[in-house]
Amino acid sequence: MTAITELNVNECISSVTLSPVSRLDLIKYAGASGDFNPIHTIDEEAEKAGLPGIIAHGMWTMGNISKLFTPYMEQGFIQSFSTRFTGMVFLDDVLTLTAELADKKEEKLIFTVKAVKQDETTAAKGTVIFNLY
Amino acid sequence: MYKHLIGKQSEKVENQVERGAVAAFARSIGDPHPLYVDKEYGKYSKYQNNIAPPTFPRTFSYGTIPGLHLPVAGLIHGEQTFEYKRPLLIGEEIYCHSKVENYREKRAASGHLGFLTLINIGEDMRENNIFTSKVVLVLTEQAREGEDYYDSNHRA
């Protein structure tokens, strides 16, 4: 694990590639988050909503992105975390999560974060401002 | 269709950052780090406690905004932002409310789209702001024409 304080601009913290998205992942997230919108868990409901199949909660993807920073949470904290959900995530999609240091301003480390699918399309993109203690 | 609700807000609702809920949430995002789930680890950490993952406020109740009803179908979560003063600590009470920040409509290739911006606020018992989150929901034509609605005790 690279020390987060030693990163240079344009360098990344360790990326993570998730297992293919499973229905159980989304059922667990629905239960833990309280978001029971059935387009995330029940095929017929997703189809009724005009989708080809169930889609992952955007917040599931965002929650997964945050774990890139968890190992550093005693050196600082996430002061700001913003994401745009730019593409839908379906069952069996494989997401790779990345965080690249875009800028440094004293105690603030500004990262560009992304969740990219196996076909190279972006499912979520945003910014994390990590504030060092 | 929501323009008249801009500025409307909910009453504050008390939420607890509950240990079991944090552990279940951390596992559901594949992040069962001891800082979130191990009591002993938390005690000897910088926080002298366990903390919650940054997207945990998704689980809180923010009260009901009078008059706001969200459609069941055709609602897309477009954007999400969290701003924190500090991480959430296990066991603390957070008082949450929500307000309608903005609503605007745009014509897109896929039809008429509505963009609803909600702000969710979490404060400690002394009314110090701990976090503010912003949610942008995109309402498609289907959402605007739908007949089934959630009440506004939405979560985000």
pLDDT tens digits for B90-142? 999 999 999 999 999 998 887 889 999 999 999 999 999 999 999 999 998 77
CA B124 to CA B133: how far, in whole Å?
A: 15
CATH number of residue B143's parent domain: 3.10.129.10
How many domains are there within chain A? 1
Structure confidence by residue, pLDDT tens digits, B44-72: 999 999 999 999 999 999 999 999 988 86
CATH number of residue A124's parent domain: 3.10.129.10
Chain centre distance of CA B127: 18
How many domains are there within chain B? 1
Query: Among residues of chain A, what percentage have pLDDT more than 90?
Result: 94
Residue B45 in domain: no
Does residue B155 carry a pLDDT above 50? no
Residue B98 in domain: yes
Does residue B151 carry a pLDDT above 80? no
Inter-chain residue contact A70 with B33, CB threshold 8 Å: yes
- pLDDT reported for residue A56: 97
Give the pLDDT band of residue A28 (cuts 50, 70, 90): very high
DSSP character string of B43-71:
HTSTTSS-B--TTGGGGS-----TT--EE
Residue B88 in domain: yes
A41 contact B CB<8A = no
Question: What are the angstrom distances between the C-alpha of A77 and each of B45, B87, B128, B150?
Answer: 13, 7, 18, 34
CA B134 to CA B79: how far, in whole Å?
A: 8
Residue B43 in domain: no
Inter-chain residue contact B73 with A50, CB threshold 8 Å: yes
Q: Which of A1, A37, A44, A70 is the mutation pick for testing B, counting most B CBs within 10 A?
A: A70
Residue B72 in domain: yes
What's the mean pLDDT in A109-121?
98
Mean pLDDT value across chain B = 91
Residue B49 in domain: no
- pLDDT reported for residue B156: 41
- pLDDT reported for residue B148: 60
Structural domain span for residue B86? 3-17+57-150
What is the ipTM for the molecules in this complex?
0.96
Interface A-B, measured as beta-carbon pairs within 8 A, has a size of 114
B28 contact A CB<8A = yes
What's the mean pLDDT in A69-95?
97
Inter-chain residue contact B55 with A34, CB threshold 8 Å: no
Inter-chain residue contact B29 with A85, CB threshold 8 Å: no
Structure tokens at A87: 């593409």
What's the mean pLDDT in A108-123?
98
Structural domain span for residue A29? 4-132
Structure confidence by residue, pLDDT tens digits, B68-93: 988 867 788 999 999 999 999 999 99
Inter-chain residue contact A63 with B28, CB threshold 8 Å: yes
Residue B11 in domain: yes
What's the mean pLDDT in B29-43?
98
- pLDDT reported for residue A98: 98
Give contacts of B 41-60 with A, CB under 8 A.
45-47, 51, 53-55, 58-59
Inter-chain residue contact B84 with A28, CB threshold 8 Å: no
